[in-house]
């Protein structure tokens, strides 16, 4: 097989953290985590084309995004171009929808999509596991973004164990106008000083996913990084409280923030919440608001009944 000369259209999906615990800070400075991540339908769009001339060209709808080696998409493409000695280069068009610097792995997901796209575009023959190993060199979230679905993430994020995906529900995401430095959050976490009660019950979230129970999932969601982010930015807690007042079953900050998501069992209530953050009282708290759903593997789309239990092979 040769190069796919007419290019590829890719989708890079966002993630949310259903539970995020930090166990300790390692001697090398990295933090050891135990967290549950879930892919959602909200996604960026990437068009990927080969070109005869060497180089990597990136065009995006957001003028403030870097289009050089500071962009993970650029680094993902360069990694495979250099490794395989590919002739020519690539041109990419990014339609950015996932909020930037939001704790939703937008940049990592874009990089994962480019790795997968480059593999197909140039017929490199890399397996999913081989792609994930290369993705880890770009960032701890990239292997999960290649995997998609739901997973328990351990170590520094490199050890992934597939989990049943979320049952059917509606997800409202609200992103405040400010951003939070992930480095700042971890540097100010001081996990050794926190009480046991600050650590979320990750196992309870896994049990809720296995049972396909949104109420139990909503009740047990937790994110230890809120101890820092909510202290520095009270708006995050205010967004959570606003969502609960509008009918959310549970709310949580994703990653290091500042995005907050709420889970709803009814679309009408979820849409009312989204509109409140776009046009109503909630607008003073959030600059962006989205309504989305859990991501489903293609093999599961269209199935009737509960969507939670998928076999391990769907995530390979």
Q: Which of 253, 198, 192 is nearest to 32 (CA)?
A: 192
Beta-carbon-side half-sphere exposure of residue 257 (alpha carbons within 13 Å)? 33
The answer to whether 264 touches 273, Cβ cutoff 8 Å, is yes
Kindly list the domain boundaries of the chain, sorted by start residue. 8-163, 170-189+224-292
- Which strands make up the sheet holding 170-175, listed edge to edge? 250-253, 260-264, 170-175, 288-292
C-alpha distances in angstroms, 316 versus 126, 151, 299?
A: 13, 12, 12
Q: Which of 122, 111, 178, 174 is nearest to 145 (CA)?
A: 111
Report how far residue 22's alpha carbon sits from residue 34's, in angstroms, rounded to the nearest whole number. 6
Q: Would you call 213 exposed, middle or buried from its count of C-beta atoms within 10 A (0-12, 13-18, 19+)?
A: middle
For 170-189+224-292, the fitting CATH number among 3.40.50.10860, 3.40.50.1220, 3.30.70.890, 2.170.190.11 is: 3.30.70.890
pTM, to two decimals: 0.91
Predicted pLDDT of residue 4? 62
Helix ranges (H only) for 88-159 are: 106-121, 128-136, 142-147
Report how far residue 18's alpha carbon sits from residue 223's, in angstroms, rounded to the nearest whole number. 8
Count the neighbouring beta carbons within 10 Å of the beta carbon of residue 78.
17
For 8-163, the fitting CATH number among 1.10.1270.20, 3.40.50.720, 3.30.230.10, 3.40.50.300 is: 3.30.230.10
Residue 100 DSSP one-character state: T
Report how far residue 271's alpha carbon sits from residue 172's, in angstroms, rounded to the nearest whole number. 8
**SS3 label, residue 61:** coil
Q: Would you call 104 exposed, middle or buried from its count of C-beta atoms within 10 A (0-12, 13-18, 19+)?
A: buried
Token reading at 268: 């009408």
Token reading at 38: 């879930």
Q: Is 298 a catalytic residue?
A: no
Residue 14 φ/ψ, nearest 5 degrees: -80, 165
Report how far residue 134's alpha carbon sits from residue 129's, in angstroms, rounded to the nearest whole number. 9
Token reading at 64: 């403030």
pLDDT per residue as tens, the chain (316 positions): 466 667 999 999 999 999 999 998 887 878 899 999 999 999 999 999 999 999 999 999 999 999 999 999 999 999 999 999 999 999 999 999 999 999 999 999 999 999 999 999 999 999 999 999 999 999 999 999 999 999 999 998 889 999 999 999 999 999 999 999 999 999 999 998 999 999 999 999 999 999 999 999 999 999 999 999 999 999 999 999 999 999 999 999 999 999 999 999 999 999 999 999 999 999 999 989 999 999 988 755 554 343 333 323 222 2
Convert 133-163 to b/e letters by CB count within 10 Å (16 or more is b): ebbeebbbbbbbbbbbbbbbbbeebeebebb
Sign of the C-alpha dihedral, residues 5, 10, 163, 106? positive
Predicted pLDDT of residue 26? 83
Catalytic annotation, pick one of 15, 116, 240, 276: 15
The answer to whether 78 touches 37, Cβ cutoff 8 Å, is no
Catalytic annotation, pick one of 44, 110, 116, 141: 141
Q: Is 301 a catalytic residue?
A: no
Sign of the C-alpha dihedral, residues 298, 303, 306, 309? negative
């Amino acid at each position: 097989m040769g190069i796919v000369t007419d290019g590829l259209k890719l989708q890079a999906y966002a993630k949310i953290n259903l539970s995020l615990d930090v166990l300790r800070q390692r001697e090398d400075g990295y933090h050891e985590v135990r967290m549950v991540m879930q892919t959602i339908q909200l996604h960026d769009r990437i068009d990927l084309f080969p070109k005869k001339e060497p180089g990597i060209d990136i065009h995006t709808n957001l003028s403030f995004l870097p289009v050089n080696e500071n962009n993970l998409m650029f680094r993902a493409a360069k990694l495979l171009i250099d490794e395989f000695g590919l002739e020519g280069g690539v041109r990419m068009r990014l339609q950015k929808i996932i909020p930037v610097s939001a704790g939703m792995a937008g940049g990592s997901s874009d990089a994962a999509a480019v790795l997968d796209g480059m593999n197909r575009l140039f017929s490199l023959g890399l397996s999913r596991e081989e792609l994930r190993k290369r993705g880890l060199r770009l960032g701890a979230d990239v292997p999960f973004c290649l995997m998609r679905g739901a997973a328990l993430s351990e170590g520094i994020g490199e050890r992934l164990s597939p989990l049943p995906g979320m049952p059917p529900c509606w997800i409202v995401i609200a992103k405040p106008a400010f951003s939070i430095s992930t480095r700042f959050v971890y540097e100010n976490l001081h996990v050794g000083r926190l009480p046991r009660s600050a650590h979320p019950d990750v196992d309870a979230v896994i049990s809720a996913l296995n049972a396909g129970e949104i109420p139990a999932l909503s009740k047990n969601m937790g994110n230890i990084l809120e101890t820092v982010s909510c202290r520095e930015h009270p708006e995050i807690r205010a967004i959570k409280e606003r969502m609960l007042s509008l009918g959310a079953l549970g709310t949580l900050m994703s990653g290091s923030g500042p995005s907050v998501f709420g889970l709803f069992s009814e679309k009408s209530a979820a849409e009312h919440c989204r509109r409140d953050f776009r046009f109503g009282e909630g607008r003073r708290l959030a600059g962006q608001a989205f309504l989305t759903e859990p991501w489903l593997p293609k093999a599961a789309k269209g199935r009737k009944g509960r969507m939670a239990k998928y076999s391990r092979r769907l995530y390979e």
